[in-house]
Amino acid sequence: MEQKLFVYNTLTRKKEEFIPLDAPHVGMYVCGPTVYSDVHLGNCRTFISFDLIFRYLTHLGYKVRYVRNITDAGHLEGDADEGEDKVSKKARLSALEPMEIVQKYTVDFHEVMKTFNALPPSIEPTATGHIIEQIELVKAILDKGYAYEVDGSVYFDVEKYNQTQDYGILNGRKLEDMLNNTRTLGGQDQKHGKLDFALWIKAKPEHLMKWPSPWGVGFPGWHLECSAMSNKYLGHQFDIHGGGMDLMPTHHTNEIAQNVASCGNNPATYWLHTNMLTTNGQKMSKSLGNSFLPNELFNGTHPLLKKGYSPMVVRFFFLQASYRSTIDFSNEAIDAAESFYKRLSEAAKKLASLQQNALVAVDDEIESAIIAACEDCYNGMNDNFNSPKTLDALNNIAKQVNSFAGGTRNSGAIKAETFGRMKKTYNDFFFDVLGLKTEDSEGGDTDELMSLIITLRNQAKVNKDYATSDKIREGLKQIGFQLNDNKQGGTDWTKN
């Protein structure tokens, strides 16, 4: 690859050059959602961040196998390993089959991701579809002596594991600190150690989702599925493992322990963690009741919102911060993102129809500004997927595009090659890498209707009947259509 990409690796707490194990192939595993209720905006942010990463790696020419699981079983509600499966709890409450819940929220999740223009992963395996693989993994861990069975449940022996391995390799904590600071939870009686976690859990008779196993009827522990499915689809070693930052200390820590215990190595070279979306400085989460559903945001129906925002504006809002920073949600912040998004989006449209003027002597200043901006698009993303930097570079290109389109600068004063490069870079980054779309055509008859109205208004203008022309413009503005007269005597319109 000609571009040198650097990524922040949680494992080493440093930015490192990205070197795949088997270029041009890249294996990337991302922990997906638990499909027991609607995905909220914070969940979406994580998947949009990894969509950006997937898109950029692909743009660089890597052949990425992107695996993102669907957790449809085994994910506990409430206290450690004692509670009820999240999916079956919801199913009982709604008097539905567990797979009905799973189906409903999986379909919903896919729809939401599509609205955000997030590409589907290469493989999207489910936990329930990989019970056999999970049982095999438990067997392997038992065989190696890092787990023990108690009355139909199997637990991972963390303290034994830590004798020869570093259990806190990812979260940077020492075992004794973790032991001393873990809160005392109920249901610990079966476990040998406070930090031990369940690999397989014996199902109570009323439990809905359960499978036979060598240890009796039960269901898998939550951390198990990711180890089993990443092994299956990406092998024992692959390049990137990602997820939300809140998964790092426990879920990913246990995942590494399972992999090391069963096959001897940490599964991924680079561990990437996305930061949280916050509201009023607090993590957006279902339990705190401060979460937004995507539709509430699009429609503006959430009480904290003044108005609705389109999915592309929301995506853009996320892109304005780097994936490792928290983003605090506020009306002001997203309004600013909306204006900036429109600016870059309008520039993309102008660029599509922009033709270069007849060549004249090259203006070195414009020429080098454009080349630098094109390089900066890459420099931003190469620096740990720093999308704000790339947006800055894109804005510098947009400035040139607007000057060319508005006639304040002569597009003939750059080399034809540079003009082409500018166009390609802008399109590559705006559409393919950042995954943005322009919100243009309304579809249907709107284009024709607008064209007719604009013709009538321009007749009024020619007749100097400004009362009429302004009335038309004002009226359209009221219903969300902004008319802009351009220098060539024509009129453009945008929908707000």
Partner RNA sequence: GGUCGGAUGGCCGAGUGGCUAGGCAGAGGUCUGCAAAACCUCGUACAGCGGUUCGAAUCCGCUUCCGACCUCCA
Map the footprint of RNA across residues 404-443, applying CB under 7 A.
Answer: 405-406, 408
Structure tokens at 94: 């709604």
Q: Is 210 annotated as a binding residue?
A: no
Q: Residue 258 carries which side chain, given as an amino acid letter?
A: Q
Among 282, 301, 455, 459, the residue binding RNA under the rule CB under 7 A is: 282
Q: Which of 20, 33, 125, 267 binds RNA (CB under 7 A)?
A: 33
Which window, 25-33, 52-60, 256-264, 410-418, contacts RNA (CB under 7 A)? Answer: 25-33
Residue 480 in contact with RNA, rule: CB under 7 A: no
Q: Which of residues 147-176 bind RNA (CB under 7 A)?
A: 171-173
Residue 277 lies near RNA (rule: CB under 7 A): yes
User: How many angstroms separate the Cα of 140 from the Cα of each of 159, 220, 245, 260, 319?
Assistant: 18, 14, 28, 11, 42
Footprint on residues 225-264 left by RNA (CB under 7 A)? 243-247, 249-251
Rounded alpha-carbon distances, angstroms, from residue 401 to 128, 341, 370, 404, 411: 52, 15, 10, 5, 9
Cα angle at 162 between 156 and 168, to 5 degrees? 95
Residue given tokens 């503005």 in the structure block: 477
**Helix (H), strand (E) at residue 375:** helix 364-382
Member of 9, 27, 34, 270 binding RNA (CB under 7 A): 34
Q: Is 377 annotated as a binding residue?
A: no
* Both structure tokens of 64: 């990425």
Residues 390-409 that bind RNA (CB under 7 A): 391-392, 395, 398-399, 402-403, 405-406, 408
Interaction pattern, residues 173-202, with RNA; x per rule: CB under 7 A = x---xx--xxx-x-----------------
Q: In which residue are the tokens 């559409």 written?
A: 431
**Helix or strand or coil: residue 457?**
helix
Minimum CB–partner distance for residue 125 and RNA (Å): 15
Q: How far is the CB of 80 from RNA (least distance, A)?
A: 5
Residue 348 neighbours by CB under 8 Å, 6+ apart: 426, 427, 430, 431, 436, 438
d(CA 237, CA 230): 9
Helix then strand then coil, in percent of the chain rounded to 5, is 50, 15, 35
Rounded CA-CA distance 166/173 in Å is 10
The residue within the footprint of RNA, chosen from 236, 442, 486, 490 (CB under 7 A), is 486
Interaction of residue 16 with RNA, rule CB under 7 A? no
H helices of 264-363, in order, are 294-299, 311-319, 331-353
Nearer to RNA, 222 or 378 (CB): 222
Tell me how many residues contact RNA (CB under 7 A).
89
* Residue range at the interface with RNA (CB under 7 A); choices 102-110, 132-140, 276-284, 414-422: 276-284
Q: Of 19-27, 116-124, 383-391, 410-418, which segment contacts RNA by CB under 7 A? A: 383-391
Residues 330-359 that bind RNA (CB under 7 A): 330, 332-333, 335-337, 339-340, 343, 346
Residues 292-331 that bind RNA (CB under 7 A): 320-322, 325-328, 330
> Does 31 count as an annotated binding residue?
yes
Q: Is 251 annotated as ligand-binding?
A: yes
Give residues 458-477 in contact with RNA (rule: CB under 7 A): 461, 466, 469-470, 473
CB 393 within 8 A of CB 379: yes
- How crowded is residue 264: how many other Cβ atoms within 10 Å of its Cβ? 10
Q: Which of 93, 163, 206, 287 binds RNA (CB under 7 A)?
A: 287
CB 272 within 8 Å of CB 240: yes
* Sign of the CA dihedral running 193, 198, 203, 206: positive
Least distance in angstroms from the C-beta of 32 to RNA: 7
In the window 75-134, what residues touch RNA (CB under 7 A)?
Answer: 75-80, 86
Fill in the per-residue mask, 198 to 227: x = in contact with RNA (CB under 7 A), - = not in contact.
------------------------x-----
- What are the binding residues for Zn(2+)? 31, 226, 251, 255
